Structure 1
Amino acid sequence: MTQSRFDLEQAWAGNVPPHWRWARNKELLAESLSVSADGTEELLSVSHLTGITPKSEKNVTMTAAENLDGYRLVNTGDLVINTMWAWMGALGVSKQPGIVSPAYGVYSPRPNAPFNPGFYDYLYRSTPYVMEMTRLSRGIWTSRLRLYPDVFLSMAIPVPPLEEQRAIADYLDCETARIDTLIEEQQRLIEMLRERRSAVITHAATRGLDDVSLIDSHNIYLADVPAHWTVSRFSREIDVNGGQVDPQEEPWSEMILVAPNHIQSGTGRIIGRETAREQGADSGKYVADAGQILYSKIRPALNKVAVAVEDCLTSADMYAMSSRHDDDHRYLMYFMLAHPFHEFATLASLRVKMPKINRDELGEAPLLRPPVDEQRRIAAYLDEQTMKIDTLIAETERFIELARERRSALITAAVTGQIDVREVA
């Protein structure tokens, strides 16, 4: 057995069909060092999720370079690898010409090489081949791994007959499209369930439990609230904690630290449970008592609110709040998750210089206060209803996860010859 074949079989854990031959990437591809003269070509994005796509189609928040002169030219059919993220599968064969960062590797098929772009796009991005690229990348930390051209070009690669490459690519195009459509349908279902969740919360927390079948999360007015509820302001009913502690000193260092990223958006659920010491906190934090309302004051995380399940610390981006009366804190949490409050907080945050809602603005927020026994009934009702919806969302997310696993396994099986596409055609 050649070293070339031995290297790859470690990652693929099996044999490809005996009529496939083995080669090295350098027999199929050559590194392309051509660069743009003026940077006017289409800028391409390299993703582990979508492969090579126009950057204009991506929702990218990172600032692009002002001058794209010297960016690498990419031709249709070229393989592009993000050298720094190859271990995550950030690579693919481009379906269009364009340019990419000079930090990326661009590899062009050699003339007359048996290289079908569709087949090798699937193969290079398959789980076992990405694992092999990770194994051969250089670096001390995973996030610092680099796959350099000399290493990539020396890697082994199976080479099926060209006609079989085309057949496999066509088969995978069809099968993955079906799975992708199914995943998209399930993702739309999750969005509908989340909208339903928000609508249920909004109606119950702003109108009570009467006529719960008539739910509309975008048409709430103060005139619509029950007559026996009181309408007040946060500044009159709610106290906000103040005073910092040093999270590096005991006992604060051993307390759970809650920041906006520890609260699941729109659900009232705290995720993760790490102490200030475990998180390496070094700046001042605030103490919150069990049962207090924890609210993210920064935009866009203004719908992150939860009730503290234990004494904890909060980051400077959180408010720890308590009712001055005997209001049910779980009802208040749901009220703050409702559409009218979230809309008020968003608009208020736009009126200040920093992307957050400050105490003065928060104090002006309207607060609907049913009688306490009714608050408790509303909170209990919403606990039950949101749990049902959350269960459906979790089941749908699991279905999507299984579909993605199926997609990955199907690609791996096809590009390693474990599926004879001539028999399934």
Structure 2
Amino acid sequence: MSFPEYPDYKGSGVDWLDEIPEHWKVIAAKRGISVLTDFTANGSFASLAENVEYQSSGYARLIRMTDLRQNLETEGVWVDENAYRYLEKSSLTGGELLMASVGSVGLIYLMPEVDYPASLAPNMYLLKTNTSLLSKFFYWSLLSEGGQSQILQVATTTAQPKLNKDNVRSIVLALPTVQEQTKIVRFLDHETARIDALIVEQQGLIGLLKEKRQAAISHAVTNGLDTTVPMKDSGVEWVGEVPAHWNVGTLRWYATIQGGVAKGKDYEGRETVLMPYLRVANVQNGFVDLSEVKEISVLESEVERYSLRAGDVLMNEGGDNDKLGRGTVWQGQITPCLHQNHVFAIRPNNSLTAEWLATLTQSEQARFYFFLNSKQSTNLASISASNVMSLALPLPPVSEQQQILSYLDQHRAWHEQLVEVATSTVELLKERRSALISAAVTGKIDVRSWLPPASAPTQELEREAV
């Protein structure tokens, strides 16, 4: 879909804006906005309401960027009525334009409507526009490439980026009439919603493809490829039935486990060597991430004890639930290389291929086992070496293991190709969204005659993105 240009343009006097429509103006934001901060700053709130604490419930909610990112679905922090009466100066009801002032500068949100008292949290600005500038037009201008670039340029950086009020007031924008702003806002609301819907659709497809990949692995490592073979009860509830000629045994029957080196050992007065070692962050689902390999000091006599061998299966002892127990085969990319004590090295014997074990750890059945036998804490989990070695293995003959793995490799290549296409489509749609916003708020396209179609087929937009 293409849009017309304006009939006449003039120089803007601003390099990044280039030319703007003849009847548009260039203004600094200070001519169209006032900038309010939260009223918990500078000790004034503390002096007014001594001993006030943020709470998990209360009379009024303080709106943070964290809450807005999740559409206010977080529990949030609250204050009592006495505190809110002071904070009413920056009260929020819905539709207000909010900007991060510290940290994630460049984040802009429109406040959703709420049915409870709310006020601005620290590290945010409330931007109020006058009659010459629509709040929603300013919102789209700030989200444009030029708006974001200016915010990052004017932000001061110490420990983290920070915007003061003068930084915000200095932002430059191209300004049409209020009537034209209204049309641009309607156009962008409609067109970005279409693009967002397509992005969600493609992201859903990526999720579905990953589920199908998981299901294919889970079925293959417990049922095999031949649907005609007799089946038997594995004797393990979470495994179910397996082909009758397969063995089922615990991992300790078919492999040994090697623990890793612990950080923080005291080697004072003893000679050490500096060695590369793998951490939990290096062991990903199905591959080893070697983009950052750290080093650790150990005694020379400990190098052999903690060294990895090509063919070891690396499994994580702890971390987030999605990292727990996930396995991948170490191919000896770095020699010698040690491993941290939170990464297990499993060394299979001749009846178990490393690739079979690593693939099995990606199955739904193994994920369930690791979760069931882990110790859970807030957002973290861990599993013991003993529980890892008690993992039940459906085990076909080595030749059949290789046949199944070959099939799964072909399936993986097909799956990755589809995911890559969908991921590329998402990125192209995001680029188109950004370009459309920038073109509309700088007058590079003329949408004054644009009308929302009676129906908005997404197929056309998707074809353009691809």
**TM-score category, normalised to shorter length:** 0.7 to 0.9
Q: Structure 1 residue aligned with 2:328, among 284, 306, 313?
A: 306
Change (3 A) 1:86 1:293: closer
Counterpart secondary structure, 1:270: coil
Q: Is the 8 A contact 1:81 1:91 kept in 2?
A: yes
8 Å CA contact 2:260–2:344 kept in 1: the answer is no
The structure richer in strand per residue is: 2
Q: Distance in 1 between matches of 2:325 and 2:132?
A: 54
Distance 1:17 1:259 in 2: 56
Q: Identify the residue that residue 295 of structure 1 maps to in structure 2.
A: 315
Are 1:24 and 2:28 matched, yes or no? yes
Show the counterpart of 1:395. Answer: 421
After superposition, the C-alpha distances for 1:74-119 in whole angstroms (9 at most, x for unaligned) are 35343211112454x2123334363332221222223xx2222222
Q: Are the equivalent residues in 1 in contact too, given 2:155–2:163 (CA < 8 A)?
A: yes
Deviation at 1:238, TM superposition (A): 2.1
Contact kept, 8 Å, 2:272 with 2:297, in 1: the verdict is: no
Q: Structure 1 residues 317, 242: CA separation in 2 closer, same or farther (over 3 Å shift)? A: closer
Counterpart of 2:450 in structure 1: which amino acid?
Answer: V
Matched, 1:330 2:355: yes
Please name the residue that 2:233 is paired with: none
Alignment of 1:92-241 (within 5 A): 92-96=109-113, 98-110=118-130, 113-140=131-158, 144-211=160-227, 222-241=239-258
Given residue 205 of structure 2, which amino acid in structure 1 is its aligned partner? L
Q: Residue 32 of structure 1: SS of its match in structure 2? A: strand
Distance in 2 separating the partners of 1:54 and 1:316: 36
User: Which residue of 51, 63, 83 corresponds with 1:44?
Assistant: 63
Normalised to the residue count of structure 2, the TM-score between the two structures is 0.75
Classify the secondary structure of the residue corresponding to 2:162: coil
What one-letter code is carried by the residue in structure 1 that aligns with 2:253?
R
- CA 1:424–1:157: 2 relative to 1, 3 Å: same
Counterparts of 2:192 and 2:99, CA distance in 1:
22
Whole-angstrom CA distance in 2 between matches of 1:31 and 1:125:
17
- AA aligned opposite 2:338: L
Is the 8 Å Cα contact of residues 86 and 147 (structure 1) preserved in structure 2? no
TM-fit CA distance, 1:287: 2.9
CA deviation map 1:353-402 (0-9, x unaligned): 97211112222221121111111111111111112101111111111111
Q: Given the two structures, how large is their TM-score scaled by the length of structure 1?
A: 0.82
| Separation of aligned partners in 1, 2:125 and 2:33 | 12
The residue number in structure 2 matching 1:14 is 18
Distance 1:84 1:352 in 2: 31
* Secondary structure in structure 2 of the residue aligned to 1:309: coil
Map 1:63-74 onto structure 2 (within 5 A).
65=77, 67=79, 69=83, 72-74=90-92
Paired residues of 1:44 and 1:99 also in contact (CA < 8 A) = yes
Partner residue, 1:380: 406
* Counterpart-to-counterpart distance in 1, 2:434 and 2:156: 26
Q: Distance in 1 between matches of 2:448 and 2:376?
A: 64
The answer to whether the 8 Å contact 1:247/1:276 transfers is: no
Give the SS at the match of 2:423: helix
Shift of 1:352: 8.7
Q: 1:161 to 1:315 in 2, by over 3 A?
A: farther
* Letter paired with 2:25: R
Which 5+ residue runs of structure 2 have no aligned equivalent?
1-11, 41-48, 53-57, 229-235, 266-270, 452-466
2:364 to 339, 345, 350: 339
Take 1:358 and 1:221, find their aligned partners in 2: how far apart are those partners? 19
Does the 8 A contact of 2:217 with 2:362 survive in 1?
yes
Matched, 1:258 2:278: yes
Conserved 8 A contact 1:22-1:158 = yes
For 1:262, the aligned partner's letter is N
Give the secondary structure class of the aligned counterpart of 1:424.
coil
1:314 maps to amino acid: H
Aligned mates of 2:376, 2:420 — CA distance in 1: 37
User: Cα–Cα, structure 1 residues 107 and 352, in superposed 2: closer, same or farther, change >3 Å?
Assistant: closer
Q: Runs of 4+ in structure 1 displaced over 6 angstroms? A: 36-39, 245-251, 282-285, 351-354
Q: Secondary structure at the match of 2:243?
A: coil
Deviation at 1:246, TM superposition (A): 7.6
- Code of the aligned partner of 2:136: G
Identical-pair percentage? 26
| Structure label with greater radius of gyration | 2
Q: Structure 1 unaligned runs (5+)? A: 213-218
Q: Distance in 2 between matches of 1:352 and 1:186?
A: 34
Q: Which amino acid aligns with 1:391?
A: Q
Aligned counterparts, 1:263-282, within 5 A: 263-265=283-285, 268-277=286-295
C-alpha deviation, 1:272, in angstroms? 4.0
